[in-house]
Chain A
Amino acid sequence: MTGLKLEVEGDTVVVVTRHFAAPPEKVFRAHTDPAIVQRWMLGPDGWTMPVCLLEARPGGRIRYEWSDGQGNGFYLTGEFLELDPPHRILHVERMHLPDPTPDNRIETRFEADGAGTKMTMRMTLPDAQTRAAMLETGMEHGMEASYQRLEALEA
């Protein structure tokens, strides 16, 4: 069991934890090397990430652009604040829908857990309303995968 957990904490925090079989060095690289990120951070089946910019250094830029290949898409920008390979990443990001959402400050920790890694991602939003909106956006995007799978079954 990978045991993904997603929990809300207080008014403004969302904490995601998950175990990976690979060691922290590899999991850290899979979060900071654009050629790798581009292959998994895709959301629903059918979506791709045509643009993936990750300048993994303090002050470095982040830019992800997603597309469903049918003219629908959105993008995210951000900046790295601190990196401590392979243990910790601190960055800020915002979605552009197309107006930018308030900054989401994200601390990601990778700890050795047996032969694998325990990842803890702590997202802090400026207020409760922004957090609710972010969870809703994430759900709408995720729901689409379920609908697409359903359509595939029905076809």
Chain B
Amino acid sequence: MTVTSLDTTFAALADPTRRAILAQLATGEATVGELAKPFAISQPAVSRHVRVLVDAGLVLQRVEGTKRPCRLAPAALTELDAYLDLLRRALETNYQRLDRLLADDDC
């Protein structure tokens, strides 16, 4: 994952409405109309949020007649987690050093 696409992913995740949309999609496919129902905002506004999520690669949208059902793109979240895993490993390098110091009673 490049830094640029990661920026896009984090920016997409930064909005609470978009996170709520993702949470709803985690339970299954939904149309923009269905996604708009729980929110006090218009369907076009929800459409714009969905567009940001699609551009960030977090949501996939297909055409079915006049409907555009949305679903989660599992690969995107896996990539984000793989990225956070690099950070976990970087931190773990430090903490394993600390473990050794604490075990040797050097401190």
Residues on A close to B: CB < 8 A? 2, 4-8, 11, 16, 18, 20-22, 26-27, 29-30, 33, 35-36, 39-45, 128-129, 131-132, 135-136, 138-139, 141-143, 145-146
Q: How many A-B residue pairs have CB under 8 A?
A: 100
**A33 to B90 alpha-carbon distance, docked (Å):** 22
A39-B101, A40-B97, A128-B10 as given contacts; A141 in contact with B90, CB under 8 Å: yes
User: At the interface, is chain B mostly helix, strand, loop or mixed?
Assistant: helix
On B, residues with C-beta under 8 Å from A are 3, 6-7, 10-11, 13-14, 16, 83-84, 86-99, 101-103, 106-107
Report the separation of the CA atoms of residues A43 and B91 in the bound assembly, to the nearest whole angstrom. 7
Contact B107 A135 (CB under 8 A): no
Task: Check if B95 sits within 8 Å of A4, measured CB to CB.
Answer: yes
Given contacts A11-B16, A139-B87, 8 further A-B contacts (CB under 8 A): A2-B95, A4-B92, A8-B13, A8-B84, A128-B14, A129-B10, A132-B10, A138-B90
CA of A104 to CA of B6, assembled, Å: 20
